[in-house]
Structure 1
Amino acid sequence: MRYARLALQTTRGDLMATSATVITTQLPTYRALLQEWENKRAAAKGFSVPLAELEPLTKNASKDVIVAFRTRPPLPNEAAEKFRANPDAEKASTEPVEFCAGVTVASAEPGVFVAHVPGMKWNGPTLAHKTYEADLAFGPDVTNEEVFQRTVVVNDLLSLSLSGGVACILAYGQTGTGKTFTMESIEHRVARDLFNTARTVGKRFIQAHGTDNTTSPELETGDIFEFRVTFLELLGKHASDLLAVTDKVDEQGNPIRTEVAVREDAVGNVRPGLISTAVRTSEELEALINRALSHRRTTATLRNAKSSRSHALLTITIKNTLLPYAEEGQLILLDLAGSERYEDSKDHDKQRMDEARENNKSLMNLKECVRAKARMAAEQGFVHIPWRTNKLTMLLKPIFDIESRQPSKAMIIAHVSPHIQDTIHSTNTLSYAAPFLTIPPKPRESLPYDASDPRTWDHDQTIEWLTDSFTQEAKKSQVAEWTAKARAAELAGHTLDPLPDDRDAPVDIGVDILKICPPGSTAKNLGMLYTPQFVEACLVARTDTDGDKPTQDEFKRRALDVIGNLVYLILIAKTRKRMEIMNNRKKIAAAKTLLGPVWDETMDKAAKAARAGDGNRIAAFAFARDGLLAQYRAIKAEQEAKEKAKTAEEEDA
């Protein structure tokens, strides 16, 4: 049986391997069918805003997951070199192999790709046209600079990472479709723009900070950030450091490096032991990127003479030196290994086959995580993100961990080949990436007030909490100051008068709360701010700038504690809500099993009644479900009572 399965797999592989040859043989027919479709279709839609007029989107307008498609132009003589017709095939064409498009951009924004899928029926070749949607679609004439502007710049990913958030850009697709070309161009443009953007953000923060910058050249220029860079290569299950120096090479000439462990530590962080290099200028970052990329492992495949056989993960960690206790921002640039079908890798040796298998497995795990993250924005309930299932997704924990306090955003750029002979691969890539697309969440009804859940507070309740929080912080400072004086007095042989225990006495909190939370704003809005943004708002709203107490650093610490407590309350409320949802799901599953057909019949009746009466279907479902759960609890209570009675009888006997 085992050998029969292997033979069947080999046969299937041979059939798929010949598909490109069959398509090439029938190119004149497919080209005619494509031209017929082109003549009937509507004109392609371009981008909504010209490149020269682009501006960053507001935080609320941008989504957590953005999806883009890209196809490259065909290379000179590429079709003739890669796709040769079999001269012995029946009805083989004698025409030279020329390019025939496998994908068409129907709309640039929103992005729509149409894949032209060749087929064969009894009466001859056929051409199906499958549509896939994304946020953006880049055709073969779009430059790398425009891709960078419409992905990284418009979505403000650099500012997000500089503000303590996590920004991630991923390139995915079949080997040979231009992923590395796109990602390297983005990496170099990040190196070009990151430090200028950092100085702009830094100057704005210093202005709100009110620091005298005449004594510090760094503050004068806005250089308040520290940048550290790591570059990891994940080959199959094995991770290594691309910045590590080694003299050992394998048979293909690729460097052999010591494997780096990828695991979660005791406090939940995933931090491989990589070389972390400090960079201060665009030139230093550019040189580091070039050095690391030169070490990346490549191998020839049927589709690409220098195919990237590994995932390359560039991570730039950013620390705000004026907010030493705030979360460090991260900018993650991930060039994924090329996805492969059997016919791309069947001639590889066992090691290459194992690597391809592990790469494809990690890509499937990544798909599940990205889809789950995309669903989180559109669903009220709990969505599980299985980021622990693979080393690749573990490395992306800052993006996928639902308990993370850091805001995050992911940009997925899916690459496809322009050739019709690769359309089967292209449809796989587009089918992989298209489900990541989600619409922005619809406005939901206000939740009932819950003192422990900031998401339910209105403006007045938020003002009350902020006032109380800053008051408590001011009183803690008073106690700390008195304690320090008392110790100094004790050392000098004196006794300090006790601190008056007047808890109701007014305290100057030193900040205008209404400037932090103007009318119309709530705790939910404040919770969406990046930590530096909240601190900046507090510095602008400070009212005691003429005095020397508290110091600037002490005031920033107060603001950090307040926003930290607010985010913690929101996180706890979300966790509690998730636990309630999970518990309800378990109860519903148990009730369905116990009640059997009764559950389905009752829910069907509720749905029919709601449709007949033009009622609220969700409310009808909830009412029916609550009734069924009450029946379930009654049956369970009766069963438990019988079990107790039976146990008591056995003990008495």
Structure 2
Amino acid sequence: MASSATLTTTHLPQLRTILDEWNAKRPTTKGFSVPLEQFQYAPNASKDVIVAFRTRPPLPNEAADKFHAEDDAPETGPVEFCAGITVTSAEPGVFVAHVPGMKWSGPTLTHKTYEADLAFAPDTENEEVYQRTVIANDMLSLALSGGVGCILAYGQTGSGKTYTMESVEHRVARDLFERARIMGKKFIASQGGDHPAAETGDIFEFGVTFLELLGKSASDLLETTEQVDEQGNPVRTEIAVREDKIGNVRPNLISSTVRSSEELEELINKALSHRRTSATLRNATSSRSHALLTITIKNTLLPYADEGQLILVDLAGSERYEDSKEHDKQRMDEAKENNKSLMNLKECVRAKAKMAAEDGFVHIPWRSNKLTMLLKPIFDIESRQPSKAMIIAHVSPHIQDTVHSTNTLSYAAPFKTVPPKPRGPQPYDAKDPRTWDHDKTIEWLTKQFTKNAMKSRLAEWKVKEKQAKLAGKTLKPLVEPAPGELDLGVDVLKICPPGSTAKNLGMLYTPQFVERCLEARTGETLRKDEVKSVAMDIIGDLFYLILTAKTRKRNEIMRSRKTIAVEETYGVSPRAGDPETMYDTEEFLEAQIFYATDWGKIIMAAKKKCDSEGKEWSLDVYPKTIEDMMQKFRAHRDAAAKQEAEKKAREEET
């Protein structure tokens, strides 16, 4: 049985003796494969999820200040540090957690082993952590190339997450712009070298947002406010975290443009000074919220390519009940919501790791929580952007915290994955706008505006025809114009310039698309209000096509999955003879809606007739009655579908 922190402190001398005996027998610690001074840039592109463990050194007098023996325990002298974590291998990473326990014979230690890709000992400097995680895994180049890189710091309150994450953020600010200039020069050279920024390589634009998620409430850390709450924390406007019409999650945050390392450093320092902190039993300045720094990178030479993102997440500290039982109600609720969001994050990361190793569809429940919704770019299975996630799990070095450390390591260790299967470009699908190229997008937009222009032309002709009839004249039939002859009222190439596709248009908000159509207006064929109306209809149709394609592909994947042999597994259903079980549930419900009250009337009439004739209702008459009704429903449905298809064909012809 695992012991509490106070009970562990009581038996510290015996536990230290057991630990010394174990250390004397264990093999020598295995270090990193390449020393830091010989370390060269060699990206590990083989994994989607990389896991690292880190434990910090103990602070002076920390053990004596935080951990106390039982009141009735005999005096054993001052409480001194005893290691609860041992690093036995740095690469691959192996942590051994020494879990105190109690038996009838006295205190015991259980040595639990956890594996990761990397493991950082207490004496590892922040620079080495940064080099072996962010640089070694090519996170900066990934984001500059239009991919998504995410670094998350997880662990118990007081285990050093914020210390690591702030150092990573400042080093990213230090190196990002230099890396961007190097890649920019190479990119310009590959395009022929004829560009104003050929010397500097400044072809990237950087936008920065900083969001704080406290429980279920999200706020903007870059918002300036003078209001404070009872604890002295600034009061900010709550930001909505939700999906837009086509499934993107884009909170309405202040996006600041930065052009240098100094500007990004200043922005990070400003945001971090606004973050909420409170005292806990484990940390006097514990971060009570999740902080998400998102750096969005746009390539100006490829303005319609996917924007790269670098997401740095300092997660709120996880807490056990023992550490939070003396909190007030507000902080108890905060701890509850934090732990809930961390569990949701665990399910998403595990599903992403599983998807890398399996074929077919793997459900990633990123909608379960606001935290995972904000991290949708790395969890969206339909995204073709390359993505990589780095999890740095932090544990306390003290043996009194080992029980919580095992929870942290058990949380993170399963994220260690095998290399993912390659995912090529999404194949062309005429029904999926996300796969269209520029020419196909122009063709579709032209068709939409042509359809609107023809409707307007037909309406004008009908008015003239009516006037001609009143005057006793006959108007010439309306002739379909030759290609290019019809004035659409807009320049379609301005709406979708070269390089842009339907996928890019789908990323626009409705007002942005309308504004683009207004700017593309030509002449006076369409009034401004008409352009607005048409633009809203067209972008609505595009959103519908994208959503339909997403749903269709997801359903196709789900239908293609193997199904279990129900009867072999669970036995024959007691309703096996029920005719309702012979039909698809959705189709059966549609038939009942179609018949409405007649459904029950037909069945009752058949039952009455069956009783009068002395036939077997459940075996003969009832199945036949249902089958007759289903056939009539199917005939009606097929006729309606055919009629709708013919109507659509006529509309397309006109």
Task: Tell me, yes or no, whether TM beats 0.5.
Answer: yes
Matched residue type, 2:250 = R
CA distance in 2 between counterparts of 1:289 and 1:201 reads: 24
Q: Partner residue of 1:183?
A: 165
Q: Partner residue of 2:22?
A: 37
- CA deviation after TM superposition for structure 1 residue 44, in Å: 1.1
Matched, 1:81 2:60: no
1:383-420 deviations in Å (ceiling 9; x for gaps): 10011111101111111111122111100000000000
User: Which of 325, 332, 337 is 1:353 aligned to?
Assistant: 332
Matched, 1:53 2:38: yes
Partner of 1:285: helix, strand, or coil?
helix
1:615-639 deviations in Å (ceiling 9; x for gaps): xxxxxxxxxxxxxxxxxx9x95899
Q: Partner residue of 1:224?
A: 203
1:516-566 deviations in Å (ceiling 9; x for gaps): xxxxxxxxxxxxxxxxxxxxxxxxxxxxxxxxxxxxx998679x99xx9xx
Partner of 1:220: helix, strand, or coil?
coil
CA distance in 1 between counterparts of 2:620 and 2:294 reads: 59
Matched, 1:275 2:260: no
CA distance in 1 between counterparts of 2:422 and 2:176 reads: 35
Paired residues of 1:26 and 1:93 also in contact (CA < 8 A): no
1:122-137 to 2 correspondence within 5 Å?
Answer: 122-137=104-119
Q: Partner residue of 1:140?
A: 122
1:558-598 deviations in Å (ceiling 9; x for gaps): 9x99xx9xxxxxx999987754442245x725x41587348
Partner of 2:64: helix, strand, or coil?
helix
Matched, 1:70 2:47: no
CA distance in 2 between counterparts of 1:442 and 1:388 reads: 25
User: Can you give the 5+ residue segments of structure 1 that lack an aligned partner in the other structure?
Assistant: 1-14, 454-468, 480-497, 500-552, 565-570, 600-632
1:150-198 deviations in Å (ceiling 9; x for gaps): 0000000001111111110000000000000000000000000000000
- CA deviation after TM superposition for structure 1 residue 341, in Å: 0.7
1:219-368 to 2 correspondence within 5 Å?
Answer: 219-368=198-347
1:528-567 to 2 correspondence within 5 Å?
Answer: none
Q: Partner residue of 1:419?
A: 398
CA distance in 2 between counterparts of 1:367 and 1:451 reads: 31
Matched residue type, 1:583 = R
- CA deviation after TM superposition for structure 1 residue 138, in Å: 0.4
1:390-409 to 2 correspondence within 5 Å?
Answer: 390-409=369-388
Matched, 1:588 2:573: no
Q: In structure 2, do the counterparts of structure 1 residues 394 and 130 end up closer, same or farther at CA, with 3 Å as the change threshold?
A: same
Q: Tell which deviates more after alignment, 78-87 or 287-296.
A: 78-87
Matched residue type, 2:35 = P
CA distance in 1 between counterparts of 2:15 and 2:284 reads: 28
Q: In structure 2, do the counterparts of structure 1 residues 21 and 327 end up closer, same or farther at CA, with 3 Å as the change threshold?
A: same
CA distance in 1 between counterparts of 2:208 and 2:182 reads: 21
CA distance in 2 between counterparts of 1:637 and 1:191 reads: 60
Matched residue type, 1:26 = H
Q: Partner residue of 2:368?
A: 389
Paired residues of 1:236 and 1:355 also in contact (CA < 8 A): yes
Q: In structure 2, do the counterparts of structure 1 residues 112 and 576 end up closer, same or farther at CA, with 3 Å as the change threshold?
A: farther
CA distance in 1 between counterparts of 2:228 and 2:76 reads: 45
Paired residues of 1:54 and 1:154 also in contact (CA < 8 A): no
Paired residues of 1:381 and 1:578 also in contact (CA < 8 A): no
1:206-264 deviations in Å (ceiling 9; x for gaps): 00111423xx3x34200100111111100011111111111111121111111111111
1:463-502 to 2 correspondence within 5 Å?
Answer: none
CA distance in 1 between counterparts of 2:312 and 2:327 reads: 28
Paired residues of 1:62 and 1:155 also in contact (CA < 8 A): no
Partner of 1:21: helix, strand, or coil?
helix
Determine which structure has more spread, i.e. the larger CA radius of gyration: 2
Matched residue type, 1:33 = I
Matched residue type, 1:252 = Q
Matched residue type, 1:416 = V
Q: TM-score normalised to the size of structure 2?
A: 0.70
Matched residue type, 1:77 = N
CA distance in 2 between counterparts of 1:648 and 1:75 reads: 78
- CA deviation after TM superposition for structure 1 residue 42, in Å: 1.1
Q: Partner residue of 1:23?
A: 8
CA distance in 1 between counterparts of 2:394 and 2:46 reads: 22
- CA deviation after TM superposition for structure 1 residue 451, in Å: 8.9
1:258-312 deviations in Å (ceiling 9; x for gaps): 1111111112221111111110010000011001101100000000000000000
Partner of 2:563: helix, strand, or coil?
helix
User: Can you give the 5+ residue segments of structure 2 that lack an aligned partner in the other structure?
Assistant: 430-436, 447-481, 484-495, 508-546, 574-578, 585-617, 631-654
Q: TM-score normalised to the size of structure 1?
A: 0.70
Matched, 1:174 2:156: yes
CA distance in 1 between counterparts of 2:204 and 2:621 reads: 68
Partner of 2:319: helix, strand, or coil?
coil
Q: Partner residue of 2:192?
A: 210
CA distance in 2 between counterparts of 1:595 and 1:86 reads: 54
- CA deviation after TM superposition for structure 1 residue 40, in Å: 1.1
